[in-house]
Structure 1
Amino acid sequence: MPQSTLPVVIVGAGTAGISAAAELAETGIHSIVIDEAPRIGGAVFRGPFREAIELPHLDNKLRKKISNIRQLYQDNQPHIQLMLETRVLGPSGDNALLVRHKDDVFEVPYEQLIIATGCHERSIPFDGWQLPGIMLLGGVQLQLKSGLVKPGQKIAIVGTGPLLPLVACQLHKAGVHVVGVYEAGKFSGFAKESRAFLNRPLLTLEGMGLLSYLKAHAIPIHYGWGIVSAKGQDSLNNITVAQYNEDWYPIQDTETDIEVDSLAVGYGFVSRNQLAQLMDIEHDICSFSGLKPQVNEWQMSNQANIYIAGDSVGILGGEGAMMEGRIAALAIAQEIKILSSTAVKKKASKYFNLLNKVKLFRAGFDRVGRRREGLLSLLKPDTLVCRCENVTRADIDKVINQGVKDITSLKMRTRVGMGDCQGKTCNSYCQDRLRQELDTLDVGYVKPRFPLDPIPFSALSEGV
């Protein structure tokens, strides 16, 4: 293939996207990086929007990582065209994306494309989950990072995974009273994964440091515990937690009521791959991260000029995303004859080595935090599942009892997933529920619609 005459287009300015752009720049290849946010770094390393604000909860390691991703861009800025606050609406014909920046809608052509759209949080509905004061864990962290917006004065944290103790420490440093962390996974489960965690010893030590900080400040971690329900009139004022059994069903007579004004809920993430679906990329079904785009070891999809990297192809975190972005960039450099196969393999070897260690490390948390069917029992019949279309658990129960066996039929019968969020909030519950009822992994998925984001009339007014 001859050398590309167009810049490589990268969708996503997080760790995967910026790392890919930097790797391309090091070989003299220009790129266009598109992101809907006002800053680079993604949700993890975007940092505060206003630098003048003192952010005591950001430790030195996190500050350094935020600084590093910005410096990486600055060092390679001559080769990178950054398009921030720009939303990708979907594909436009062959080899072009339709994008919107404010009120302008236009095409961005490409010959090589890297999709690095990241992930979004998995919503776990339970009785009372819609009350004001209840937020997903990543949203709480983003508020703190972006400008020290405190979610409340007295908070509990429930869910599973390494983000729980990290956010607990950040909240405490920001002046919020953290009454406790309720980790659904059992301590014995984490202990059994010690060999997996040793693949990233520095990250493991950082995690142990977080646990030591919580212990020193009398913030308890309750392993094998989780949310049951939340209560309040106009806003949250009380939650019920309980010990979970092996399948994460609340154990009777272990329920405990706690007075709080806010609750952070974190039961994992789902790959954000709506764009990849619209572009007819082949996907596999993954019970942990939702649909998973099919890629080879060089992050190439079934379409030879489209690569997918970062959490949009599987939840690995910042380190893994960086390596996948760089690997995709090297593959493109070889494809367009900028680097030889020998040079690419030599440079990529260290990236593959670290990526494999990250995968082994992350697999340990995935095994402990694998969602169990008990979470499906936390809803009452009138609990909303789809907030966009006001679909309750009872509505879903009814059509399942009538014989619905896949997501598409469920959507047609109840309107679940037809709202503006296109199923981002409700799809995980619906899939888990059908899998439990039908005892099969393949129950379909909510297909995205074009455009991925609404287009305002003002953007279409020219020439009308």
Structure 2
Amino acid sequence: MATARIVIVGAGPAGIRCAQTLVAAGFKPVLVDESRRDGGQIYRRQPEGFTRDYATLYGTEADKARDLHESFDRLRPQIDYRPDTLVWNLTPGQLCCVSQGQHSTVEYDALILCTGATDRLMPIKGWQLGGTYSLGGAQIALKAQAVSIGHRVVFMGSGPLLYLVASQYVKAGAQVAAVLDTSPLGKRIQALPKLMARPGLLFTGMKLLAQLYRAKIAVHLGVSPLQVLGEPATGVSGVRVRTANGETLTVDCDAVALGYHLRPETQLADLAGCRLRFDEASGQWLLETDDEGRTTVSGVYAAGDGSRIRGADAAEHAGRLVAMALLSDLQQPVDAVRMAEARRALGVMDEFRLGLAQAFPWPAAQAKALPDEAIVCRCEMITAGELRRTVSEKGACEVNRAKAFSRVGMGRCQGRYCSQAGAEVIAAAAGVPVQQVGRQRGQAPVKPLSMSTREVTP
């Protein structure tokens, strides 16, 4: 058995395929995962005791989910698997973890970050009302708890996840009031040459849209969100948007799921000192890696959606590739043909990623249009007007300076929900490109810890 201490963070598609490749080479990696069960978000397993079949849970992805889960079941005895364990900080060679209220450290020689992604959100007036969820939150409720987030649900935003979760709700028998997409049809037509890089996946997306039309769900393209309606005491009662033809549309509902594709979870990489770069296509900061997953910090690697938002298939390829890159760095034999095949596959998937970014663009203009009273940071209840005043009155044209003045991004989510939209508000107020205002620096703890957390005694 090889002796290098290798730690993988994340038991989704990238983490599992990475561990599988390392085990085949004679290593026994530590696999740390925040969730109670493997699979990540896309192939999240239902809790023990639930009996829904794969087709019900995963739809067109059922076979892939089953294969990944079965692979992990075979792999589990050969790895040091630590579920329900949050990595909340790291220092060189050491992870700081907490599990069920107990703190521990994990030493590593090589660290592979397969941290996945989370919802990318743009605020809308009223989104702080009870009954407003992210698309990922709505999906978790359905997969892990077998419940709908409401009796009558509106799905609003843009990107493939919007249609996937809406379709999953329809299939589960939930009442979907409408799907409101901010991207216009013309953007999708323009993106077709890039999207044809993966015709099968493009066809799957078209089938999801067709399922919604067959179910007679109202689907509106090119909308401009105006407000989530309701009262603090009773929560959401509807949403109001401006349609592509300029009319105002109000849809009654008691829950709304929001999302604009995904943003990578880069907090741990940031704490490790890895360099990030601004990606013009998606309008967000991504982890800088080489083609095989090496970051700018020696001994730290990354794969999957935590590095590039390319989907589950790409995450599996990237997980295998990054493991082979590490093996090569450890002077272990690797299959050069397999590495070349994985790089080629990821190249195709990156072309598709660029197509998605073009077809479903991040609605930066919405940040400029937010009314001053709209909440940007839900944790600290910071409004768009307050952020704009940090620019006009205090000259805070950089996000971390604006954070210090306004507390935006200082709450429980550590900026996960508000940092990118907040940067857009600041950039619009300052009249500069959003990349010029920078990004919020990662800080520990990357997620909330219980005050009762205690050190594990030997």
Please state which band the TM-score falls in when normalised by the shorter chain. over 0.9
Alignment of 1:322 onto 2:321: no
Partner of 1:261: 254
**Partner of 1:205 in structure 2?**
203
In structure 1, what is the Cα distance between the partners aligned to 2:243 and 2:339? 46
Q: Is 1:62 matched with 2:61?
A: yes
> Could you tell me which amino acid in structure 2 is paired with residue 85 of structure 1?
D
Cα deviation, residue 4, structure 1: 5.6
CA 1:373–1:90: 2 relative to 1, 3 Å: closer
The equivalent of 2:238 in structure 1 is: 238
Q: CA deviation at 1:182?
A: 1.6
Change in 2 beyond 3 A, CA 1:462/1:171: closer
Runs (4+) of structure 1 exceeding 6 A deviation are: none
Q: Does 1:272 align with 2:262?
A: no
1:100 Cα offset (Å): 1.4
Partners of 1:190 and 1:368 within 8 A in 2:
yes
Equivalence for 1:284: 277
Find 1:40's aligned residue among 38, 45, 64: 38
Q: Are the structure 2 counterparts of residues 87 and 59 from structure 1 closer, same or farther at C-alpha, using a change threshold of 3 Å?
A: closer
| Aligned positions of 1:87-106 closer than 5 A | 87-92=86-91, 94-106=92-104
> 1:161: how far off?
0.9
- Give the match for residue 11 of structure 1: 9
The one-letter code of the counterpart of 1:189 is: K
Letter in 2 for 1:172: V
Paired letter, 2:378: R
User: Where do 1:326-365 residues align within 5 Å?
Assistant: 326-339=320-333, 343-365=334-356
Return the offset for 1:289: 6.3
Q: Give distance in 1, aligned partners of 2:104 and 2:170.
A: 45
Q: Could you tell me which residue of structure 1 aligns to residue 113 of structure 2? A: 115
Q: Which residue of 2 aligns with 1:438?
A: 431
Aligned mates of 1:416, 1:60 — CA distance in 2: 39
Q: Deviations over 1:349-384 (max 9, x none)?
A: 221121111111121110122223431145332222
Q: Is 1:388–2:379 an aligned residue pair?
A: yes
Number of residue pairs aligned between Structure 1 and Structure 2: 450
Check whether the contact 2:194–2:352 (CA below 8 A) recurs between aligned residues.
yes
Q: SS at the partner of 2:391?
A: helix
8 Å Cα contact 1:180/1:220 also seen in 2:
yes
Query: Residue type of the partner of 2:66?
Result: S
Change (3 A) 1:61 1:309: same
Contact 1:45 1:66 in 2 (8 A): yes
TM-score by length of 1: 0.91
1:20–1:326 contact (8 Å) kept in structure 2: yes
Task: Write the letter of the residue equivalent to 2:410.
Answer: M
Rate the CA distance shift 1:187–1:106 in 2: closer, same or farther, 3 A.
Answer: same
Residue aligned with 1:61, SS: helix
Partner of 1:58, secondary structure, is: helix
Give the one of 425, 428, 448 matched to 2:420.
428
Kindly provide the amino acid, as one letter, of the partner of residue 40 in structure 2. G
User: 1:114-193 alignment to 2 at 5 Å?
Assistant: 114-193=112-191
* Structure 1 residues 32 and 215: CA distance shift in structure 2, 3 A: same
- Determine if contact 2:286/2:307 at 8 Å carries over to the other structure: yes
Structure 1 residue 220 corresponds to structure 2 residue 214: no
Change (3 A) 1:374 1:457: closer
Answer yes or no: is the 8 Å Cα contact 1:4–1:111 preserved in 2.
no
Q: Pick closer, same or farther for the CA change 1:169–1:258 going to 2, 3 Å.
A: same
CA distance 1:461–1:177, change in 2 (3 Å) = closer
Q: Deviations over 1:202-257 (max 9, x none)?
A: 2122122212222222123222124211111211112112125xxxxxx75x1111
Tell me how far 1:435 sits from its aligned partner.
2.6
CA contact (8 A) 1:157 1:164 kept: yes
Deviation at 1:399, TM superposition (A): 1.5
Distance 1:462 1:213, change over 3 A: closer
**TM-score, length-scaled by structure 2:** 0.93
Residue 84 (str. 1) matches residue 83 (str. 2): yes
Shift in Å, 1:38: 0.3
Counterpart of 2:403? 411
Question: What is the DSSP-based 3-state SS (H/G/I as helix, E as strand, rest coil) of the residue aligned with 1:37?
Answer: coil
Which secondary structure does the structure 2 equivalent of 1:328 belong to?
helix
Task: Give the secondary-structure state (helix, strand or coil) at the position aligned to 2:453.
Answer: helix
- Greater CA drift, 186-195 or 80-89: 186-195
Structure 2: distance between partners of 1:96 and 1:152: 42
In structure 2, do the counterparts of structure 1 residues 271 and 59 end up closer, same or farther at CA, with 3 Å as the change threshold?
Answer: closer
Over 3 Å counting, the alpha-carbon distance change for 1:57 and 1:130 in structure 2 is farther
Q: Could you tell me which amino acid in structure 2 is paired with residue 135 of structure 1?
A: Y
* Separation in 1, partners of 2:449, 2:172: 38
Shift in Å at residue 60 of structure 1? Answer: 4.4
Displacement after TM superposition at 1:132 (Å): 1.4
**Would the aligned equivalents of 1:179 and 1:219 in 2 still touch at CA under 8 Å?**
yes
Aligned CA distance change for structure 1 residues 137 and 451 (closer, same or farther; 3 Å): closer
Secondary structure at 1:44's aligned position in 2?
Answer: coil
Q: Secondary structure at the match of 1:68?
A: helix
Once residues 200 and 178 of structure 1 are traced to their aligned partners in structure 2, the CA distance between those partners, rounded to angstroms, is 29
Aligned equivalents of 2:165, 2:119: Cα separation in 1: 15
| Inter-CA distance 279–373: structure 2 relative to 1 (3 Å threshold) | closer
* SS of aligned partner of 1:192: helix
Amino acid at match of 1:268: H
> Cα distance, 1:462 vs. partner?
7.4
Q: Is the 8 A contact 1:270 1:289 kept in 2?
A: no
- Asked whether the 8 Å contact 2:390–2:402 carries over to 1, the reply is yes
Output the amino acid matched with 1:242.
R
Per-residue deviation at 1:334?
Answer: 1.4
Q: Residues of 2 paired with 1:215 and 1:48: CA distance?
A: 28
Task: Name whichever of 372-381 and 254-263 sits farther off.
Answer: 372-381
Specify every segment of 5 or more residues in structure 1 that has no aligned partner in the other structure, as ranges: 245-250
What's the CA shift for 1:180? 2.1
| Residue in structure 2 matched with residue 399 of structure 1 by the alignment | 390
CA RMSD in angstroms, aligned pairs only: 2.1
Whether the 8 Å CA contact 2:289–2:296 is kept in 1: the answer is yes
